[in-house]
């Protein structure tokens, strides 16, 4: 596996805001051909009290605006981030961040139908437990370009599916294959052996 770059956020995996921003930058600068983040809408799902800090840092560092949805009222956001309905979040967010713990029944928060409802070209970022997203539906959405791309925290990917995600040319995985540093793996097209520099609109 080649095309591995170094990220400087050594402790990002323990900080939802740092992890989100690291994945945002990695995804926009590589997979989407350095697409600017300023002015983009960040949708936050199941981040609870961390949503406010993610929104604050995204606004300060990247000039993004944020909105959120949490299935459990009073989960800690407390008006710090604008709350919207589920359908509005899917249809208006340029980047959708899914974090937190899985539901008690392990049903996914993001399913196949949700990928079809996302804003055209929108991207998914996962920083929570694997059960939060229908993983096979996400792989299909990436391969068929139903969504613009995905940035995935390694902890958010089931072990048995890591190879499949690594072969999606519009996916970013962090950390990638850390040996002596913290690195990010950019998905590759197995037929050409290269990462796709830009997606088809």
Q: How would you class 73 by CB atoms within 10 Å of its CB: exposed for 0-12, middle for 13-18, buried for 19 or more?
A: exposed
What length does the chain have? 201
Radius of gyration, alpha carbons of the chain = 15
Contact between 168 and 187 under an 8 Å Cβ cutoff? The reply is yes
For the stretch 144-189, pLDDT in tens is: 999 999 998 888 888 888 888 888 888 888 775 343 343 444 555 4
Contact between 45 and 69 under an 8 Å Cβ cutoff? The reply is yes
Split at pLDDT 50, 70, 90, the class of 108 is: very high
Between 56 and 78, residue with greater pLDDT: 56
Instruction: Please give the pLDDT value at position 170.
Output: 87
Instruction: Please give the pLDDT value at position 31.
Output: 57
Between 49 and 136, residue with greater pLDDT: 136
**How far apart are the C-alpha atoms of 61 and 166, rounded to whole Å?**
29
- Asked if residue 22 has pLDDT above 50, the reply is yes
Summarize the chain as % helix, strand, coil (round to 5): 35, 20, 45
Local structure of 54: helix, strand or coil:
helix
Instruction: Please give the pLDDT value at position 74.
Output: 54
């Amino acid at each position: 596996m080649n095309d591995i770059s170094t990220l400087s956020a050594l402790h990002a995996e323990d900080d939802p805001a740092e992890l989100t921003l690291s994945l945002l930058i990695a995804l926009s600068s590589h997979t989407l051909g350095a697409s600017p983040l300023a002015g983009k809408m960040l949708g936050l799902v199941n981040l609870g009290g961390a949503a406010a800090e993610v929104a604050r840092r995204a606004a300060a560092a990247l000039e993004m605006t944020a909105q959120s949805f949490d299935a459990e009222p009073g989960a800690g956001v407390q008006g710090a981030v604008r709350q919207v309905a589920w359908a509005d979040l899917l249809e208006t967010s340029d980047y959708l961040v899914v974090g937190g713990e899985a539901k008690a029944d392990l049903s996914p928060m993001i399913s196949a139908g949700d990928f079809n409802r996302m804003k055209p070209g929108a991207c998914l970022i996962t920083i929570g437990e694997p059960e939060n997203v229908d993983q096979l539906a996400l792989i299909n959405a990436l391969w068929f370009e139903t969504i613009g791309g995905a940035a995935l925290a390694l902890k958010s990917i089931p072990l048995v599916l890591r190879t499949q995600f690594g072969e999606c040319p519009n996916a970013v995985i962090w950390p990638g294959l850390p040996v002596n540093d913290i690195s990010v793996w950019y998905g590759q097209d197995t037929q050409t052996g290269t990462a796709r520099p830009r997606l088809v609109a």
